[in-house]
Amino acid sequence: MLTPSDKALVPFVSVDNMMRLVHHTGLEAMITRIANTIEADFLRWDAFDKTPRVASHSDVGVIELMPTSDGDMYGFKYVNGHPKNTAEGLQTVTAFGLLADVQSGYPVLLSEMTLLTALRTAAMSALAAKHLAPEGATTMAMVGNGAQSEFQCRAFKAICGIDTVRLYDIDPAATAKCARNLADSGLTVIPCTTGQEAIEGAQIITTCTADKQYATILTDNMVGSGVHINAIGGDCPGKTELHKDILHRSDIFVEFPPQTRVEGEIQALPDDHPVTELHDVFAGRTAGRTSDKQITLFDSVGFAIEDFSALRTVLDLIKGTDMYDDLDMLADPDDPRDLYGMLQRSA
């Protein structure tokens, strides 16, 4: 048996090691660190290759690849979305991702991204709200209390300073789960029995539901002036959460318009409906919130640069730790031209 060389080994962060890394760093600290990296990468927007994710749709879900590169590093994420999975005891979303060195093409990190996607989605939501939510906002309505909900609540606490969350889900067991998990988070947690009750007194409204269909989680009469809406659930063609009239009353902010117009809430609007790209807000080229009466809407679908940023954060955090495994992933013959000979010698 041939012993793998250092060139053959790629750091691999398993689910177990990702959980260790989160606990070692601190959940809110890690979300904040990912948000800071996303913001830094959005500030060098022009350095990145940008393309909508490559999606394979079926009747029951979607499987997607999300690639990007900044010229030095290449990254991609594999991710699925299957709403039916929950009833079968499976995750709705699973993911893994990779970073590679552009100069050699060699991978430098392979990581689970089911947990990491939850962290980066929450980080991106709170980062957008930092620029768009009403100043001094303290209360968020969390409509949809599935796997993402607790991460969203903790991110808004860490980055935006909210202290109260009002929870609602059509499944009371999901709300009970979320409330139980947030019991020691430092947040005041208020379970609600309707969506209308949940948004009462909330300056921020987050919607995060899983059903793959055109839906109306928020109707126009539920949304008053001056709020920030963080719409996460509309993330593929044919899936939305907001009544179209809300969109017409809102200033809409997006990650990457060519992707959002196909997958986000704005798929319900004409292709020329005006939207603002968040990288321009982060850089100060465009205003975010401009008045107390304004409704701001982050039409969140997730973009490859955010996953690239999350993987960069993990690669930095694991340095000098034992929170990864060396995966024998790359063939490394003594003579790069003699791959067959390496196979022979391994017999």
Positions marked catalytic: 235
What Cα–Cα distance (Å) separates residue 3 from each residue in 109, 338, 339? 20, 17, 15
Q: What is the DSSP-derived secondary structure letter of residue 147?
A: T
Place of tokens 């002036």: 225
What Cα–Cα distance (Å) separates residue 35 from each residue in 26, 214, 333, 346? 14, 30, 40, 45
Judge whether 309 and 41 are in contact, CB under 8 Å: yes
What Cα–Cα distance (Å) separates residue 242 from each residue in 24, 206, 268, 315, 344? 38, 11, 10, 37, 61
Give the Cα-Cα-Cα angle 78, 112, 25 (nearest 5 degrees): 135
Judge whether 53 and 177 are in contact, CB under 8 Å: no
**H/E run at residue 111:** strand 107-112
Question: Could you give the count of Cα atoms lying within 13 Å of 315 in the half-sphere of its Cβ?
Answer: 19
Residue 311: which residues within 8 A CB-CB, separation 6 or more? 75, 97, 98, 99, 109, 111, 113, 116
For the beta carbon of residue 320, count every other beta carbon within 10 angstroms: 6
For the beta carbon of residue 127, count every other beta carbon within 10 angstroms: 26
Rg of the chain in Å (alpha carbons):
21
For residue 13, what are the β-bridge partners?
111
